[in-house]
């Protein structure tokens, strides 16, 4: 289909090339209507030709690259070692789904609810049958529960902040308890103990660094106050309050300063490149940063300001040795 489309556009380029029309030869002058008409028609044909050639070039770039003989042999060799392909760090969940769709012809599921068992019959495209017996999980009654995203955030915050600070962060994000209420320090503590999340242990030495208001912190770090509010709200940085409702203060430490840089070091990528390299969405990247699974810096200078994520390439691609 792509070849036929490209061929159609090559024909369009040939058809668009201007031809000099056959006309009666008359003495030319700048005021001759025929000369002006020919010039206008010629320029129009040249513009149409340039447009058709540009479109043809664009479509040629979109054509899929042909695999080399070596790459074809490498792909065919994977058929004898699907486990290597399935477990490769470069294989995403989407790739695994596509692989299953390619290999499976049909899946038949028979459920025995009294025995809480399920029998699966997998029919592969090679006509081979695989049968599996699985235990069904016990159904738990649907009661009030806190959403898992809040639990994940609580688990990360509890490493760094006490319950009252965590409650403030959760409330600024407009998160609610299982009963739809605002969080308090007692409710955070109860939820933390129910989920077996260790409580925050303050350091043996008093914290270092000066306390600054949000406006002062923004000036010290060289960013807008909205950036400080956003990072405080997302839990990337800690804030302190003398009492609930009092203005927030930021403790300016060397570790905090190190997160705000003028130029990102090697290995830190913009958000778009990070999502493409990891094969996940922007929201997933942000969640991993919040959970401490990915390191993040904020570039405050230059034309490409913004968040940079450290991505470690621990495994080469499937076509690399």
pLDDT score of 319 more than 50: no
CB neighbours of residue 235 within 10 Å: 23
Mean pLDDT of the chain: 77
pLDDT at 1: 47
User: Tokens standing for 257?
Assistant: 């300063």
State pLDDT tens for residues 140-170: 555 668 888 888 888 888 887 789 888 888 8
Distance CA 37, CA 25 (A): 14
pLDDT score of 191 more than 60: yes
What does the pLDDT average to over 174-181?
87
User: Tokens standing for 227?
Assistant: 């950036």
User: Tokens standing for 318?
Assistant: 């499937």
Lowest mean pLDDT among 70-74, 96-100, 136-140, 220-224: 136-140
105 pLDDT band, cuts 50/70/90, is confident
State pLDDT tens for residues 198-233: 988 877 776 677 888 889 888 888 888 888 888 777
User: Tokens standing for 109?
Assistant: 């599921």
The answer to whether 260 and 300 are in contact (CB under 8 A) is yes
Distance CA 290, CA 160 (A): 12
pLDDT at 188: 92
Distance CA 252, CA 88 (A): 42
pLDDT at 321: 42
State pLDDT tens for residues 241-255: 655 556 788 888 888
pLDDT at 10: 62
Please tell me whether residue 23 adopts helix, strand or coil conformation: coil
Q: What is the DSSP string of 181-198?
A: PPP-HHHHHHHHHHTTPP
Q: What is the DSSP letter of 205?
A: S
pLDDT at 22: 46
Distance CA 221, CA 140 (A): 49
CB neighbours of residue 298 within 10 Å: 18
pLDDT at 153: 84
- pTM assigned to the model: 0.34
**Residue of 93, 94, 90, 92 lying closest to 317 (CA atoms):** 90
State pLDDT tens for residues 11-70: 665 666 555 454 444 455 555 566 667 778 878 888 887 887 787 777 777 766 677 788
CB neighbours of residue 216 within 10 Å: 16
Distance CA 188, CA 160 (A): 14
Share of the chain above pLDDT 70, in %: 78
Name every residue whose Cβ is closer than 8 Å to that of residue 208 and which is 6 or more positions away in sequence.
Answer: 253, 254
**Residue of 289, 280, 286, 291 lying closest to 152 (CA atoms):** 291
């Amino acid at each position: 289909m792509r070849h036929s489309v490209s061929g159609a556009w090559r024909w369009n380029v040939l058809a668009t090339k201007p031809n000099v029309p056959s006309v009666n030869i008359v003495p030319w002058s700048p005021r001759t209507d025929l000369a002006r008409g020919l010039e206008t028609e010629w320029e129009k044909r040249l513009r149409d030709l340039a447009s058709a050639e540009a479109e043809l070039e664009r479509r040629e770039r979109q054509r899929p690259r042909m695999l080399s003989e070596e790459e074809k042999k490498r792909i065919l060799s994977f058929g004898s070692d699907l486990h290597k392909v399935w477990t490769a760090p470069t294989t995403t969940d989407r790739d695994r789904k596509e692989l299953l769709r390619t290999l499976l012809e049909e899946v038949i599921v028979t459920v025995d609810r009294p025995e809480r068992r399920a029998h699966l019959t997998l029919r592969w495209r090679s006509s081979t049958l695989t049968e599996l017996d699985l235990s069904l999980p016990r159904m738990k009654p649907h009661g009030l529960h806190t959403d898992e995203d809040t639990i994940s955030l609580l688990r990360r915050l509890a490493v760094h902040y006490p319950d009252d600070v965590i409650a403030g962060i959760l409330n600024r994000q407009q998160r609610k308890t299982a009963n739809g209420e605002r969080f308090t320090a007692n409710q955070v503590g109860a939820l933390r103990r129910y989920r077996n999340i260790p409580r925050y242990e303050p350091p043996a030495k008093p914290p270092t660094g000066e306390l600054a208001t949000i406006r002062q912190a923004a000036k010290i770090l060289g960013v807008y106050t909205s950036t400080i509010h956003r990072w405080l709200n997302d839990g990337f940085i800690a804030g302190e309050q003398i009492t609930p409702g009092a203005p927030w203060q930021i403790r300016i430490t060397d570790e905090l300063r190190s997160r705000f840089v003028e130029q990102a070091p090697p290995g830190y990528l913009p958000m778009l490149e990070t999502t493409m390299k990891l094969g996940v969405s922007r929201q997933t990247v942000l969640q991993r940063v919040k959970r401490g699974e990915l390191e993040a810096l904020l570039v405050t200078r230059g034309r490409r300001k913004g968040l940079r994520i450290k991505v470690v390439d621990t495994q080469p691609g499937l076509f690399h040795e």
